[in-house]
Chains A and B, each alone.
Chain A
């Protein structure tokens, strides 16, 4: 990595990798372009779309005017942020206790928590669905917040655990020697050091919850539906409007794309459970 190579070689590498990057990103770029076209222009041949048509923000305006886009957006925000906060409230103490006061069985507990993540959602879909009908909480945001929190709890605990593990125990011991109580120890010593870890956990979890499409599609109808379900409503042939679909898609993925770029490194850590470093 550190070896110097000739500029010529570097340019070659850039060209090859850049082409690949462009191809991977192209679908996103393409809907970004289509989203700024009128409906008539958006279905023209690709070259005409690129060079023979003007720009328009009608797609965005109509998505907002016709379908109450803001409601779906807010549902996505509430569900992903809500499930993340709820998850943290439960996971921070659990990860703290496993990282700093390990017991004989801590490793087993950690592995067991992880194993709950391996449960295929379709295996528990029917009971959850029937429970929702029974208590009349199908299509409720609170229910989705809870379900997504449970789905991602193992990942949150696991990530926090690996971050907490990196904090040197000696610092905590020193604080304790100086007479800090458990509460003070957590608030004044541990938290400041753990903030980067907690922040990346939050970021990754919001991304996962935002894009979650199995439970959000199956447990919602009109009231609590987030953006995943809103976009799915464009799948009917009569709903096929390229410019509007593009505009809605761009609005749905943009916030997460930006967050995702900031959390590349944490992604590896969070999704491989520390198995790849």
Chain B
């Protein structure tokens, strides 16, 4: 259908987007990579000598690095476990016939639209505060000792808050996938006397497999960059108990002004995200062909 003129026009129309994205990708990436090989601290102006792998050496041998890697993995893994399993349960429940479907769905989805700084602070102060929080009130009511959430189980508390924000996302996507399930197949299985658990295991779960993978991959991309929730609740502490890779890079570059070290951390974060991205891109690419 395309004429030569329209093809030329099309090229022109797409070029601003390509140029901008190319610039956005290449310029900062090259700079990060370049800085990561320099001794470059904003507090010590003057020369910025080339130091090879020194920054990487310091970054990897810094005890807060292994803590940050560990915290990143636990945070991502914890939230993924909660949201995927919870999301499947929620989706199965919401897919059933009930009264007021619309309203109930809206209530479940709402947390996704709450900005990260609000959810961090609200959970921290109104719920998890060991004196004034609702959880403390419930514990007192049951005659138990209130838990000092951010003092004794800080990382678990953050996992909880982030899971609350992302559970709606998983639910929404899995619910969408569930609604394309072939009902006749389900009815046939039911008539053949399949128990619910068999239907779930052999029909529903395989059907959801693809959506579950997408949920895991997309969430991982976002969860690797968790920042605001940590900033407003624990500032990465106590110690480095809730410092993830993103937060560590923020601390070393914007708080300690060590551009070289921060950049080395940035490169590590990019590599980590890329490993996930490769799998995600493959799945999306396959769908594009179909």
Contacts and interface: CB of A to CB of B under 8 A. Distances in A.
B47 interface: no
Contacts, number: 315
A9 B29 CA distance: 57
A107 B288 contact: yes
A256 B121 CA distance: 18
B262 interface: yes
Among A107, A235, A259: residue with most chain B CB under 10 A: A235
Given A101-B6, A109-B14, A113-B21, A120 B269 contact: yes
A13 B93 contact: yes
Given A24-B107, A214-B227, A118 B221 contact: yes
Among A3, A98, A231: residue with most chain B CB under 10 A: A231
A118 B21 CA distance: 12
A265 to B, nearest CB: 8
Among B95, B113, B283: residue with most chain A CB under 10 A: B113
Interface stretch (B74-82, B169-177, B193-201): B169-177
Contact of A253 (B114, B127, B173): B114
Nearest to A271: B218
A253 B232 contact: no
Interface in A87-142: 90-91, 93-94, 96-98, 100-101, 103, 107, 109-130
A13 B10 contact: no
Interface stretch (B58-66, B151-159, B272-280): B272-280
Contacts of B246: 120-122, 214
The size bracket of the interface on A is: 35 or more
B147 interface: no
B28 interface: yes
A257 interface: yes
Contact of A97 (B14, B108, B218): B14
A211 B116 contact: yes
Interface of A: 1-3, 5, 9-11, 13-14, 16-18, 20-22, 24-25, 27-28, 30-31, 34, 43, 45-47, 90-91, 93-94, 96-98, 100-101, 103, 107, 109-130, 150, 153-154, 157, 169, 172-173, 182, 207, 210-211, 213-214, 217-218, 227-229, 231-232, 234-235, 240, 242, 245-246, 249, 252-253, 256-257, 259-261, 264-265, 267-268, 271-277
30 contacts: A14-B100, A17-B96, A18-B98, A18-B100, A24-B111, A45-B137, A47-B137, A94-B13, A97-B9, A97-B10, A98-B10, A113-B18, A120-B266, A122-B227, A125-B262, A126-B263, A157-B17, A182-B6, A211-B114, A228-B228, A232-B228, A246-B126, A260-B113, A261-B109, A267-B112, A273-B284, A276-B176, A276-B177, A276-B214, A277-B176
Given A94-B16, A128-B28, A256-B113, 9 more contacts: A24-B167, A28-B114, A90-B16, A118-B277, A150-B21, A235-B233, A257-B114, A267-B172, A272-B214
Interface of B: 1-2, 5-7, 9-11, 13-14, 16-18, 20-21, 24-25, 27-29, 31-32, 35, 90, 93-100, 103-123, 125-127, 132, 134, 137, 164, 167-169, 172-173, 176-177, 179-180, 183, 187, 210-211, 214, 218, 221, 224-225, 227-228, 231-233, 245-246, 249-250, 253-254, 259, 262-263, 265-267, 269-270, 272-274, 276-277, 280-281, 283-285, 287-288
